[in-house]
Structures are given as C-alpha cells and as structure tokens.
A and B are shown apart, each in its own frame.
Chain A
Amino acid sequence: DGGITQSPKYLFRKEGQNVTLSCEQNLNHDAMYWYRQDPGQGLRLIYYSQIVNDFQKGDIAEGYSVSREKKESFPLTVTSAQKNPTAFYLCASSRLAGPYNEQFFGPGTRLTVL
C-alpha cells in the first residue's frame, strides 16, 4: 500500500540529547514537509523539501535540522538547541505538479522530553 510512515510512534528524550524522527513515503512525491503540532494549535511548518538534496526553513526551524538524501526519506533531527521540543510531529508529502497543496500526512511521532 502507498503511504507515509513515521517512526517511532512515541519517543522519549532526556534534556540535552539530539533525537531523529524518521519519515518515509512510497508515493513517489517530490515534496516533503515537517510540521509541529501543540495542543489546541494548528500545524506549524518546520522544514520542507521540494527536491533531493535541497530543503528550506519553515516558520519555526530553529533547533531543528533535516536532510533529504533520498526522494523517499526526510528525517528530522530535534537538537538540544530546541528549547521546548515536547510536541506531536507530523510529516507530509505532496506532488509538485497539479494541486500540490493536497498533502498526505503520516501518523505522527509524539516526542516527550523528560
């Protein structure tokens, strides 16, 4: 089945540690996105990538880093520089041609900093 997978579903991290969240898609989509969701809030864009080996900062990129070495994969690293990392993280992908705003989301990773 085509879709987006994120792993792990739940992640716990000690303060001061970096942690990497996985996102893989087999939809052959060019564009991939990372969003952060806090309780009672909409989704906020962290990073996005429209092509392999290229990515752009979103609205809240500070304390995060990404890579796009393969079309299918867009991992997000939450660094120790992120002051308030506890949140629900969502990865999405879309085509670039046509109505590319129609994004498909993964199931999310809930990160908790202990």
Chain B
Amino acid sequence: GQQLNQSPQSMFIQEGEDVSMNCTSSSIFNTWLWYKQDPGEGPVLLIALYKAGELTSNGRLTAQFGITRKDSFLNISASIPSDVGIYFCGYGGSQGNLIFGKGTKLSVKP
C-alpha cells in the first residue's frame, strides 16, 4: 500500500505553545482526515479536507491539504492541557476504510 509518513512521532508541549505536525505520502490523495485519540478511547474526527490547497479551521485547530495532494499539516494554536493525546492523519482507502499514519503523540512537558 501507499506509504504514509507522519511526523513528529512524539512531542512535548507547554501550555500556550503552538504545535505543528504533518503527514506526507508518496501517492496523491483525494482526502485528508485528521483524528485525535485520547488514551483508551476511539479516535474523534477533527478536520476533513477534500480539495488541494484547502485550509480549514476548527477552533484552535487549522489543517491544510497540500497543493501537490501528497501532504497535509495540522496546527494547534495556544495549546491547553486537554490537547494531549495521539493525532492521526488518514486518507480514504479504496474499500471505504481509512488508512492511518502511525500517529503523533502529544504530551505535556514535565
């Protein structure tokens, strides 16, 4: 299948900092989706992107569908403690399923 690289693998945040993460692929996609998963829970859809160049916001979250259709990034502004969790990017597979990256784990700086 297509290679989906998500980075960074993990990062530490201090309250109030801005956070950025991205996904890249060797293939062109028609969809980019960003999910957040809290420990022991199912992923929750944050933002869905369907058009190259599209920039979409959801509160403090902003995501963009890269113009080449091979990448996407997610920014979180002014982070708060409840932002911790694992963020997954994903694209729509041919079976209607989702194919996910391995996730970016967000933790609070000790």
Contact = CB atoms under 8 A, between A and B. Distances in A.
B88 interface: yes
Contact of A99 (B48, B88, B93): B48
A31 B95 CA distance: 10
A48 interface: yes
B45 A43 contact: no
Interface residues of A, number: 29
Contacts of B102: 40-42
Contacts of A107: 41-42
A113 to B, nearest CB: 18
Contacts, number: 67
Choose among A88, A92, A105, A108 the residue with the greatest number of B CB atoms under 10 Å from its CB: A105
A103 interface: yes
A4 B101 CA distance: 23
A56 interface: yes
B95 A90 contact: no
A42 B104 CA distance: 10
Lowest 9 A-B CB distances belong to which pairs?
Answer: A105-B42, A101-B92, A42-B100, A45-B97, A43-B100, A42-B102, A105-B43, A108-B42, A107-B42
